[in-house]
Amino acid sequence: MPDSDVFGTGQGRQECLCSDKGSVRCVGLWSEDEEDLFHKVVYSYPVSLGRDFLKHLKATFPSRTMKELVSYYFSVIILRRRGIQNRLKSLDVDSDDDE
């Protein structure tokens, strides 16, 4: 993603004062229902099928900024996916599913 620093990827909420500042748990402080809905949208519109899940995320979460959506995607969705892949495919060196 060009100029990814603009989105603050992986930095968590800058104004947060909790003990988890900057961690995956702190990114945007999403509710459980919002997290579930976010996952459903992302997996319903896979890039591999030429679908733009970001457009659908913006429509689903109109009060969230694009920065928040992208930050949550890279800081939570991608990290969780990689963690699962690393545990399940530990012998498969190239476990990236390009999603």
Any idea where the domains of the chain sit in the sequence? 30-91
Tell me the CATH number of domain 30-91, given options 1.10.1070, 2.60.40, 1.10.10, 3.20.20.
Answer: 1.10.10
Q: Measuring CA to CA, how many Å separate 24 from each of 47, 56, 86, 90? A: 23, 23, 18, 23
**Tell me, what's the pLDDT at 79?**
86
**Tell me, what's the pLDDT at 18?**
66
CA dist 81 and 18 (Å) reads 25
Tell me the average pLDDT across 17-33: 71
Residue 7 has pLDDT above 50, yes or no: no
Tell me the average pLDDT across 41-67: 90
Tell me the average pLDDT across 15-38: 75
Residue 77 has pLDDT above 60, yes or no: yes
Tell me the average pLDDT across 21-50: 82
Tell me the average pLDDT across 50-68: 92
* Dihedral (Cα; 36, 41, 44, 49), 10-degree rounding: -140
